[in-house]
Chain A
């Protein structure tokens, strides 16, 4: 097996993309924006020691957004031939005639564009440096470490090693052209444990980084996956009640995700968010400060420019409980009479949406152990399932599992219950914020203790 990365038949450069913008203008567009994206991926899955899946591939595609005055339309294609591009342009020009005049539509103004100077450390060639046989070995080691941890682990969903790289180019008719590259790689393990009564539980753990050199060892990933799985064995239900809930960092992110959804400019200008119209108001406890930062070196959510070619930046979304910024792109900023916050997110198809950079809650003082130690009776929530957040009303209801807390100790696993509340109250009822902020992805949250939520169970 060799590890050659797919090389595109003819490399697409900035000139190719700006030329598509020029073609659109020649076809009658008053403004245009073209985006090119390409990616390569390698995935390997090992199960019970044997290679189960190997996948290796690359793909690329183009997107075009055109304006005619304040009308807009967009097209995308994976056909990069001259005929394909001709169709991309003519299709967009045909569609733009059916859309409405919208005074808020349009590209950003010329003086707004920019791209961060310097290297954000988003791309490392080393993600592809391992020969295929060693990538398989990484996956195999992660799974083996999980399965060696305890005799109750005799089955597995597998161990994996994945790597990917991507490159994108954005160009528009107001003079912006930018290019960025990124890489990522990850190791994971998903063991399955069985208790003597036959009940099965699974969990997983992973390490994900932009560089191979930064990954945790496969053995540590496997051991942590095993620890998480074993602690779920023998889980039981608990009665319906109201107690303190401690959210582990992996699930505390769901609270942060709800805040992210509620400060999204698209929900705000439509008045369809429980945080709409609340700028400058106290919407959470003074122990909550939430930051969005697209400029962190090596960050999973970092980029030199946003989906419209504006500088990414750092902004404080909640300042000690006061709502101080929404996340906006150009369109939603104009609708709200504000400035874009550099949060335009653009895929290849359609108009730019809104995306966060690195979105996180500032850590507090206490260790997770100190937070747990203060709980006389409560639930340590380790897993959530379902899609039970209503951003319009703030209603929050999720399936959950975790560990029961008694006198500060974790005493037995709990499953098949729900946890529910309303975010408007939950954000004021966070009694502790942990000091354990770790970026495992673009969104990170420390351990949180929340009062006043309802457990529904037996």
Chain B
């Protein structure tokens, strides 16, 4: 390599660095900062035992083993929960999926009214009045939905309301895979 070509290549260096940074930041911009990874993935669900709402069946960590199921964190005061609720009802009724409710920081009577109005997709609901079980799950917003495998381990977390494409593309394939 002649000194002149070497010199020319060196001139390209700032531009190359610029391109690398550009790619780096472009990738960074595609990440949604409100969606955080869960550290609970592949870990067993936290140990808890919660009473039900309005005399209904409660929810304990022991209920979450033996069968692939979903845990849905919801509250009657949460508007996006209302958005995803019909989808949960359809999943439970038409796909026969076991969905457990974690009623996060809610009044039991308000939660019951919510379910009476919109339908109850939950096999059982635990009333997490002070949000402690939520914290143990790593919940930082409502709604959140967790996929639990047969061994009672958390395999996936969805943050925010479930949308039909999330269910079709992620949740249902995962449930089928885990059920094998």
Q: Judge: A and B partners, yes or no.
A: no
The interface of chain A, by Cβ under 8 A from chain B, is: none
Interface positions of B (Cβ within 8 A of A): none
